[in-house]
Amino acid sequence: MKEIKSEDEIYIWYGNCASEMCGMMYALELLKNKSENLHFINVSDLIYKYSSGIYVPRAVAELPPEKLGDYIKLAKRIDKNEQEEILKQWKALKNENSQLRIFKEGKVISVSEDYFDVDILKSITKEGLKYLSNYKEAIEFWNNREKDEDIAFINDTKNQGRMEERIEIAKKLMDVLDIKIISEKTGLSEEKIKNL
């Protein structure tokens, strides 16, 4: 970093995923006032058509090496105003100090640690439980969760107004988990679950 001169051309590569966006913002913070010639290359801006469909890389590591030249053409010079706006976003993310960040609607946002819980519950199947190291451990985990955490999870789900989604989750879990646990995790009454 010490050897960077103000006239050097600097290219920061990233994709549309939270880790690379955060990396890009951090790099920009380190490069602040180092060079007038900063360029961004967002690898997610180029869509490739293949015989099997289309492909949009979400991260630099997903690029086929033979296509790197195509991406150089995407380089976009970043002016001071854009740099300041990105650094402002980065400062806000750092101040939030969140354990989990996601890329959503074109930007990185902080989310609660249970953000993916509903999606995880939707994907649980009897077949999938075979791959757990110990079925009893999984049940104990769900039984021993703190009540405050359960209440917060249920309230979040209720607030999101996803009744149909919760019913679908409950139906999937009927052969896998106890009705009481399903009730606790979905916010549906035990009676309602019995009638599904």
8-31 burial code (b ≥16 CB/10 A, e <16): eebebbbbbbbebbbbbbeebeeb
Q: How many domains does the chain have?
A: 2
User: What does the block give as tokens for 135?
Assistant: 């079925």
The single residue listed with the structure tokens 């490739």 is 48
Least-confidence region, from 6-10, 107-111, 135-139? 135-139
Domain range for 145 is: 117-194
Indicate if 125 and 143 belong to the same structural domain.
Answer: yes
Report pLDDT digits (tens) over 67-78: 888 888 889 999
Residue 144 lies in a domain: yes
In this structure, the answer to whether residues 37 and 125 fall within a common structural domain is no
Same domain? 107 vs 146: no
Residue with tokens 């053409």: 73
On the question of pLDDT at 20 being above 90, the answer is yes
